Amino acid sequence: MDFEICRLFNIKYPIIQGAMARVSESSLASAVSEAGGLGVLASGIDSYGQVKSEIQKIKGATNKPFAVNIMLLSPHVEDIVRLVCEESVKIVFTGAGNPIKYMPIFKSLGIKVVPVVPSVALAKAMERAGADAIVAEGMEAGGHIGKLTTMALLPQAVDAVGIPVIGAGGVGDGRGMAACFMLGAKGVQIGTRFLLADECIAHDNYKGAVIKAKDIDTTITGQITGHPIRVLRNKLSKAFEDLEKEELRKPEPDLRRFDELGAGALKAAVIDGDIKNGSLMAGQISGLLSKRETCSQIINNIMCEFDSCLKKYSTQAGNKP
């Protein structure tokens, strides 16, 4: 099949690995790219030096295209923008904010820009600013989320812009991918399933918690801070809920207490494997995921399933395949 998004990124399969702070570092991103998808390095809140070294590791591991995701809430955002320009990174994704002020510099250097958006208004603004594609990410996703579901957001974003739209949030297999294509997506971004990849450095306890999770085992923390984060329920998410209730009773909630509670929690989960006190960011699709695989197996399995979904659909509908 000839996929528009594959031509845009020069990749084989229309599967983009979602950027997950601390989780999608060089090892995962390069393995996804080698397997024919688009590997994405998450810069998270990492410093210039840390991200530079990860970019160089990816360049050493694969000649295939890869992208860097710039997390716009990072205190190092200006440094990371400068870094991707210096390193001649060809594809930049952005998340957790509006990247409009950086678009002119990216465009002047021929860098392809793909903002992740939670709304139609932002999708339109990004197209006007020169984005090459957008990711419409629903609140089924793990980590920092918007308010709309993928089912509602994706077709509205597709109708609102002329650039390719990538569907994200709640996509874990070929059926989810086919559903996104039915809604008009030209590609999918998948995070949580890649967290389970053998090449992903996330601690095995974290992977085990995702595998064990059922459909209702994620929750949203930090709603009152304006930065809602979807995580697997654990002791930390309960502490966030309690703090939220406590602060909401006050005339002026102290939002710094949320930062204090969250500080270091992602590292605790990803590196130390502390599944009680760590921040286990994961999507609602966790309940569907049951095994550890290589990136190549993940991509091949999803593509096979996607293919059979389309074939099944065309025969069921009475159309010729």
Residue 136 C-beta: closest distance to ligand TUI, Å: 10
Q: Of residues 14, 36, 37, 95, which one binds ligand TUI by CB under 6 A?
A: 95
Contacts (CB under 6 A) with ligand TUI, residues 28-47: 44
169 binds ligand TUI per the rule CB under 6 A: no
Q: Binding string to ligand TUI for residues 137 to 166, with x set by CB under 6 A, is what?
A: x-----xxxx--------------------
Closer CB to ligand TUI, residue 137 or residue 274? 137
Determine the Cα–Cα distance for residues 292 and 208; give it in Å rounded to an integer. 9
CB burial string 35-64: b at 16+ within 10 A, e below:
bbbbbbbbbbbbeeeebbebbebbeebbeb
Determine the Cα–Cα distance for residues 270 and 23; give it in Å rounded to an integer. 7
Residue 46 C-beta: closest distance to ligand TUI, Å: 11
Residue 9 C-beta: closest distance to ligand TUI, Å: 18
Closer CB to ligand TUI, residue 220 or residue 310? 220
Contacts (CB under 6 A) with ligand TUI, residues 211-230: 227
Closer CB to ligand TUI, residue 97 or residue 184? 97
- Quick one: how many helices (H) and strands (E) in the chain? 14, 11
Which ranges of the chain does DSSP label H, i.e. alpha helix? 4-9, 26-34, 48-61, 77-86, 103-108, 120-128, 150-160, 174-182, 192-195, 204-212, 235-248, 256-262, 265-270, 295-316
Stretch in the footprint of ligand TUI (CB under 6 A) among 114-122, 150-158, 194-202, 313-321: 114-122
71 binds ligand TUI per the rule CB under 6 A: yes
Which residue is nearest to ligand TUI, using beta carbons? 143
Q: How far, CA to CA in Å, does 68 sit from each of 75, 84, 111?
A: 17, 8, 11
Determine the Cα–Cα distance for residues 54 and 52; give it in Å rounded to an integer. 5
Determine the Cα–Cα distance for residues 14 and 54; give it in Å rounded to an integer. 24
Q: How far, CA to CA in Å, does 302 sit from each of 59, 270, 296?
A: 26, 25, 10
Stretch in the footprint of ligand TUI (CB under 6 A) among 3-11, 115-123, 180-188, 306-314: 115-123
Closer CB to ligand TUI, residue 31 or residue 70? 70
285 binds ligand TUI per the rule CB under 6 A: no
Closer CB to ligand TUI, residue 39 or residue 118? 118
Residue 191 C-beta: closest distance to ligand TUI, Å: 8
Q: Which residues are within 8 A (CB) of 297 and not within 5 positions of it... i.e. 6 or more apart?
A: none
Task: Using CB under 6 A, list all residues that contact ligand TUI.
Answer: 21, 44, 71, 73, 95-98, 116-118, 122, 137, 143-146, 227, 281
